[in-house]
């Protein structure tokens, strides 16, 4: 017997930590979605920067069904072929020599932070514990990662927080310099802040952070959970910044919609996570790794990465035209398929209203904080869908500001 479900039931059976939209999507294909009533939407949200190849991409469906008929899970008592193949591809394509698999962005960051502490403890001693991160940064919701994240509202109210964590303003190199010492174990940052409002780093800032880390023997951890896997137009954002981190966390687009996270690092640093020091039952799951390998093969091509940069230009140009007509944005920014339109003072705090008006008009967008509308569509969204989605978005803007 199947039960028909609706949005009202959500409130009866779910923990109330989310407040999802009234519509329930039931089917997706490429960058289009359909809800229970059959209404169709253009998807500019992409499952929050996750569905990098859209919905049900044939290469992913093939990998999932093939692996699904072969082998799902073994645990870490055994390794599996897809995990080794994916790790090899990640190592060959990046600065890293070693990979640890997890199931989410928070878990990849948690592993990065624990590794940094181990490294510092064993390499330099107990005094080297300080983790510095940035205000408005977001690193996940485990208690360690959410405390490292730069929004205290997310970590308050759960009792004693993990210690040794400090925050300074993003793009404020002198504040960081002031804070750093030989007690600094690691600096963790997003190479472009996503959840915090789609905020790009100044070019000199990132280079300066790297230099300060070198000066104080501290590790530089890049949280590329949102920026990684083609999102900004290169496989990882660090490639375009001319700065190489010591540890990198990847998730979201990595699985294209299948839960997986990865922490990448060098051979020397990795050596500090010896057998028994850290782990995960599902990490390196064969199904997840098979899907991520298929995503990698599509994303890590010049065709797709160049396509991301082309779509960025299309979005920015059209959003500018919408703004010329309705005067709603104070800034249009971001990189690749991680874009933000900040509302001007007239519409401050109203980003959620635009998101809801978008749903009415048949286009799904996101917010990044109260005043920024965020766009994180598929990296391969057809140009016709970009145009149709932006037409619908303009309708949503007109409904609020027209």
Q: Which is nearer to ligand PLP, 139 or 210 (CB)?
A: 139
| Measured torsion, CA atoms of residues 199, 200, 202, 205, in degrees rounded to the nearest 10 | 80
From the list 51, 226, 280, 285, which residue makes contact with ligand PLP (rule: CB under 6 A)? Answer: 226
Place of tokens 């390196």: 284
> Is there a contact between 155 and 144 (Cβ–Cβ < 8 Å)?
no
From the list 64, 106, 337, 390, which residue makes contact with ligand PLP (rule: CB under 6 A)? Answer: 106
102 is a contact residue toward ligand PLP (CB under 6 A): no
251 is a contact residue toward ligand PLP (CB under 6 A): yes
Which CA distances in Å does 169 have to 150, 244, 402?
9, 21, 37
For the question of residue 354 being annotated catalytic, the response is no
**φ, ψ (nearest 5 deg) of residue 218:** -110, 150
For the question of residue 223 being annotated catalytic, the response is yes
Q: Which is nearer to ligand PLP, 148 or 286 (CB)?
A: 148
225 is a contact residue toward ligand PLP (CB under 6 A): yes
In the set 101, 134, 138, 315, the catalytic residue is 138
> Is there a contact between 82 and 255 (Cβ–Cβ < 8 Å)?
no
3-class SS at 368? coil
Angle between helices 286-299 and 58-68 (to 10 degrees): 150
195 is a contact residue toward ligand PLP (CB under 6 A): yes
Return the closest-CA partner of residue 83 out of 73, 95, 93: 73
Least distance from C-beta 148 to ligand PLP, angstroms? 10
Least distance from C-beta 194 to ligand PLP, angstroms? 5
**Is 280 marked as a binding-site residue?**
yes
Least distance from C-beta 106 to ligand PLP, angstroms? 3
Spatial neighbors of 225 by CB under 8 A, at least 6 apart, are 105, 108, 109, 139, 140, 190, 249, 250, 251, 252, 261
3-class SS at 184? strand
From the list 82, 105, 358, 377, which residue makes contact with ligand PLP (rule: CB under 6 A)? Answer: 105
111 is a contact residue toward ligand PLP (CB under 6 A): no
From the list 44, 100, 134, 138, which residue makes contact with ligand PLP (rule: CB under 6 A)? Answer: 138
Q: The tokens of 125 are what?
A: 């001693």
222 is a contact residue toward ligand PLP (CB under 6 A): no
User: Using CA atoms, how far apart are residues 332 and 323, in angstroms rounded to an integer?
Assistant: 9
Q: Which residues lie across from 374 on neighbouring strands?
A: 340, 366
260 is a contact residue toward ligand PLP (CB under 6 A): no
Place of tokens 């635009």: 354
For the question of residue 252 being annotated catalytic, the response is yes
Residue 69: other Cβ atoms inside 10 A: 8
- The residues assigned a catalytic role are 138, 223, 252
Feature table: binding site for pyridoxal 5'-phosphate: 105-106, 138, 223-226, 281
Feature table: binding site for N(2)-acetyl-L-ornithine: 141, 280
- For ligand PLP, the binding residues (CB under 6 A) are 104-106, 109, 138-140, 190, 194-195, 223, 225-226, 251-252
């Amino acid at each position: 017997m199947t039960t028909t479900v609706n949005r009202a039931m959500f409130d009866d059976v779910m923990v109330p930590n989310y407040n999802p939209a009234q519509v329930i999507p039931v089917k997706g294909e490429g960058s289009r979605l359909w809800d229970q009533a059959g209404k169709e939407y253009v998807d500019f949200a992409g499952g929050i920067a996750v569905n990098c190849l859209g919905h049900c991409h044939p290469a992913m469906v093939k990998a999932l069904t093939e692996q699904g008929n072969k082998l799902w899970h073994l645990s870490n008592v055994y390794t599996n072929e897809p995990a080794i193949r994916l790790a090899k591809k990640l190592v060959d394509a990046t600065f890293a020599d070693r990979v640890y698999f997890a199931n989410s962005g928070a878990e990849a960051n948690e592993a990065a932070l624990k590794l940094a502490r181990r490294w510092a403890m064993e390499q330099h001693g107990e005094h080297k514990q300080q983790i510095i991160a940035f205000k408005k940064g977001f690193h996940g919701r485990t208690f360690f990662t959410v405390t490292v994240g730069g929004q205290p509202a997310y970590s308050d109210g759960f009792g004693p927080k993990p210690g040794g964590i400090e925050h300074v303003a993003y793009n404020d190199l002198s504040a960081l310099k002031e804070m750093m010492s030989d007690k600094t174990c690691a600096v963790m940052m997003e190479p472009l802040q996503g959840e915090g409002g789609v905020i790009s780093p100044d070019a000199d800032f990132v280079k300066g952070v790297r230099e300060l880390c070198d000066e104080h023997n501290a590790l530089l951890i890049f949280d590329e959970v949102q920026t990684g896997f083609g999102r900004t137009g290169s496989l990882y954002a660090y490639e375009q910044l001319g700065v190489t981190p010591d540890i990198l966390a990847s998730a979201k687009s990595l699985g294209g919609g299948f839960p997986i996270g990865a922490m990448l690092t060098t051979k020397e640093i990795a050596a500090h996570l010896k057998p028994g020091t850290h782990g995960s039952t599902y990490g390196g799951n064969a199904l997840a790794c098979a899907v991520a390998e298929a995503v990698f093969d599509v994303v890590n091509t010049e065709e797709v990465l160049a396509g991301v940069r082309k779509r960025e230009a299309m979005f920015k140009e059209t959003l500018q035209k919408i703004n010329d007509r309705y005067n709603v944005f104070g800034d249009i920014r971001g990189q690749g398929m991680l874009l933000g339109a900040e509302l001007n003072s007239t519409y401050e705090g109203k980003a959620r209203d635009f998101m809801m008006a978008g749903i009415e008009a048949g286009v799904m967008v996101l917010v990044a904080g109260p005043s920024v509308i965020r766009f994180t569509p598929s990296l391969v969204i057809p140009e016709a869908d970009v145009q149709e989605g932006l037409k619908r978005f303009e309708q949503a803007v007109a409904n609020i500001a027209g």
